[in-house]
Amino acid sequence: MFNEKANQIIANATKDKPHIKFTVGVYRDGETVLKQYDATGEIPYESHLYEIGSVGKVFTTSLLAKYLHEGKMNLNDSVAKYLPELDDGRYHPTLLRLATHTAGYPTRYPLSKQELFHVARKQIAAQLTKKPAKIDHLLRMNRDKMITLAKESNLRDKDYGWTYSNYGISLLGHAIAAVAGQDFWDLMNDFLAHDLGLSNSFMGTDSRNLLKGYSWSNEPLENWRGGREDYLAPAGSITSCAEDLLAFAKRHIENDPAYLALTHVRYDMKSKHSDMGLGWWIDYKNPNMLYHSGMTEGFCATLAFDRQKKAAVVLLANVIYYKGQDKLFAEILNHL
C-alpha cells in the first residue's frame, strides 16, 4: 500500500523496539485502512488508545471555531476580554495571535529560569543513567501561575515571529472555557463526544486500554497524570485512537460542522516550510495539506489531511519519537 520510502521509515521506526505498537491509518474517498507494526513487521490490527500530545491543540482551535461561528468570540479580541483577571489596562494578545503562535510568548513557558535549570539537569542525568527524567511536576501550571505569567510578559501590540507556545494555546483554551461557563476539561469532553461524535477520545489518561509508553531506549514510562488541575491541559492532554482521529480529519475535510473551515484559513508565517491555520500547520508547497504532530514522554502522534485529495493519515506510536516522524505523513499523503 505504501511506497518503498514510507515502508523504510516504518521499518526504521520499529526496529529494536520490542514494545512498540506503531499504527498507521489512512482515509481516502470514504474508505479507511488501518495497519499496525511492531519490531517484527506488520501484525494484525488491533485498536489501541494513545496519548496524542500536541495534536490536542487542533481540537482546542476547532472548539474555538465553534464559538467564533456563534459570534461569542472574535479573533481580533484581546484574550483579556474573556479572562477578567487580565483586564488591567495593558496589552494582552489577540485570540488570532494565540492560535497561530505569534503572540510573543516564549516556548519555555511555564518554566522559570530556575525550573528550566532543574529540567535540563534531570534530562542530562537521564541521558547518562538511561533512566526516564521525572519532570512532570515542573511542567504543570495552575490558574494563578498562568495569570501571573501573562501579567509579567510586557508584550507589545504586534505580530511576533512564530514561536511555538503551549502556554499561549492553554491561555486560549481557558478563554474559550470562560465563554462557555465550564471547566475546560468538561467542555472539551463534551465537545469530543457530542459535537464530534468521537467515542474513544477524552481528556486525560484514565483508561485501562491506554498503551504503556516507552522512551527511545525502551524504558517504560508512566502515563501522563496532570489531570484537570493542570492549566496546560488545552495544549495537549487528549487520549485517542486511530479510528477517532481519522474521523476527526474526515470532519475537517468535509467541513462538518461548517465552522471547522475557519481553522483552515491560511496565515502567512513567512516560513520556507509552513504557514498556519488556527492551530494547524499548512504546508507551504501544498496549501491543501494541513497537519499537526505531538508527543508526550512516551508517545508520539501525527494527524494530517489533504482537502483536495479528500485524504487523511494518522500515525501513532507508544515511543517518544522516531526518525522520520516529520516526513512519513507527507510521503504517504503525496502518493495516495
Per-domain residue ranges for the chain?
A: 4-79+166-334
Pairwise CA distance, residues 228 & 9, whole Å: 36
The reported pTM is: 0.93
Residues in contact with 117: Cβ distance below 8 Å, sequence separation at least 6, in sequence order: none
Per-residue pLDDT of the chain (336 residues; tens, 9 = 90+): 799 999 999 999 999 999 999 999 999 989 999 999 999 999 999 999 999 999 999 999 999 999 999 999 999 999 999 999 998 999 999 999 999 999 999 887 766 667 666 666 666 666 666 565 555 555 678 899 899 999 989 999 999 999 999 999 999 999 999 999 999 999 999 999 999 999 999 999 999 899 999 998 999 998 887 788 889 999 999 999 999 999 999 999 999 999 999 999 999 988 777 899 999 999 988 999 999 999 998 999 999 999 999 999 999 999 999 989 999 999 999 999
Sign of CA dihedral 157, 159, 163, 165: positive
Give which of 180, 204, 214, 182 is closest to 319, Cα–Cα: 214
CA distance 150 to 310: 40
* Coil/strand/helix, residue 259: helix
**Yes or no: domain 4-79+166-334 corresponds to CATH 3.40.710.10:** yes
pLDDT at 133: 58
The CB density around residue 309, as the number of other CB atoms within 10 Å, is 16
Distance from the Cα of residue 266 to its chain's centroid:
18
Distance CA 308, CA 311 (A): 8
CA distances from 144 to 42, 105, 148, 171, 173 (A): 48, 17, 6, 12, 15
